[in-house]
Structures are given as C-alpha cells and as structure tokens.
Amino acid sequence: MAKTIEQISAGGIVFRKLDDRFDVALIARTSPRRRVIWALPKGWVEPGETIPDAALREIREETGLTGRLLEPLGQIGYSFYSPEDGARIQKTVHFFLVEYLSGDTADHDHEVDEARWWPLDTALAQMTYQSERQVMEKARHRLLAPTLHQSS
Ligand code: ATP
C-alpha cells in the first residue's frame, strides 16, 4: 500500500464591496482532462511561515491581490495520489476571510491560467469543489452579518 504524506496549505476568500454586492476572487486552472477548474487561491505553508502569512502570500501570488486578513473560515481536507511523491497526499487547507486592499488580477502568477473577480453568488455557482463552496457559504454568511468589522 502507498505511504501517506500529510500536507498543510493555506488560502482565502478575498472580497471587495461594491455598491450593492460583494465580489470575490477565484482562480482558474486546467485539469489533466482539459476541464477548467475554478477554485480558491491556496498553497503550501513554507517552513518557518505562519498559516495566516502563507494564506496572504498565496493569495498575492495566485490572484495578484493584496489584502487584510479578517478572520479564519475553518479548514477542509482531501486526499489524492501523487505520482511524483509515489504517495497518497492527505491535505488540510486553512482558509481565511480577506478584505481586498490593492492589486490587479492581471498580475497572477504563471501557476494559474486566470484570476478573476466574480459576484459572490455567481462564484458559488462557478466553483468546482463542494468543500470550497461550503467555505464560500460561510464567508457569505459572515459578509452579510451586521457585526463584521470592515475598514470601508
Ligand atoms: P498546490 O501547490 O496549491 O498545493 P497542487 O496542484 O499541488 O497545488 P491541489 O490543488 O491540492 O494541489 O490539487 C491536487 C489534487 O487535489 C488535484 O487532483 C485536485 O483536483 C484535487 N483537489 C484540489 N482541491 C480539492 C478540493 N477542495 N476537494 C477535492 N479535491 C481537490
């Protein structure tokens, strides 16, 4: 049986408030079967890096956007077989709610095909992974709650 490697990743939901709605940023990747995957920005926590810092760095790299971390949105887990590692990867991804400060989605890195702002409800319909959709639902709930502290 293949060995299992545990990996910790971090990412987030970057939002901006427009007059009558919230927009959130998603990234697009192409699957091995040439299907477009719309997902949340996320990635590895580097050695010596905190999980929140990793979330902000991954968001910056994958979407071109910088933001202010507001609060944790919980974690998801999934596993897959990695041929390069010859092992099953058991991944835990920590997500955070992040308020957009600056930057442009055109400045995403080469690891993603595209980064794009979506109206929150359209993003929910567009997202590939059910577990990430649940994180987005949680963010939606928080954003629509009257108590969330925002700078704008
Ligand atoms: P990273 O550098 O961000 O870790 P990666 O491509 O190595 O990127 P993942 O994005 O975790 O790693 O993708 C690895 C596998 O897990 C792919 O087959 C992908 O489709 C699948 N995957 C990614 N996110 C989820 C999820 N939320 N639920 C289920 N499977 C997922």
Q: Give 118-142 pLDDT, tens digit per residue.
A: 999 999 999 999 999 999 999 999 9
Q: Is residue 25 part of a domain?
A: yes
Residue of 57, 89, 91, 95 to mutate, ligand 1, most atoms within 8 A of C-beta: 91
**DSSP assignment, residue 49?**
-
Report the CATH number at residue 60.
Answer: 3.90.79.10
Answer yes or no: is pLDDT of 151 > 60: no
Q: Is residue 151 part of a domain?
A: no
Q: Is residue 149 part of a domain?
A: no
State how many domains the chain has.
1
Can you list the positions of beta strands (E) in 83-129? 87-103, 114-119
Q: Is residue 86 part of a domain?
A: yes
Of 30, 20, 24, the C-alpha closest to 11 is: 24
Q: Give 53-100 pLDDT, tens digit per residue.
A: 999 999 999 999 999 999 999 999 999 999 999 999 999 999 999 999
Q: Which residues line ligand 1 (CB under 6 A)?
A: 9, 42-44, 76, 78, 80, 91, 129, 131-132
What would you measure as the largest C-alpha separation in the chain, in angstroms?
A: 54
Reported pTM = 0.94
Q: Is residue 152 part of a domain?
A: no
Report the C-alpha dihedral over residues 30, 36, 40, 42, rounded to 10 degrees.
-10
Ligand 1 centroid to residue 65 C-alpha, Å: 21
Distance CA 133, CA 38 (A): 11
Q: Is residue 14 part of a domain?
A: yes
Residue of 80, 94, 95, 135 to mutate, ligand 1, most atoms within 8 A of C-beta: 80
Name residue 152's amino acid: S
- Which pLDDT band, with edges at 50, 70 and 90, does 117 fall under? very high
Q: Is residue 139 part of a domain?
A: yes
Q: Is residue 102 part of a domain?
A: yes
Q: Range of 109's domain?
A: 3-144
Distance CA 132, CA 95 (A): 9
Ligand 1 centroid to residue 21 C-alpha, Å: 29
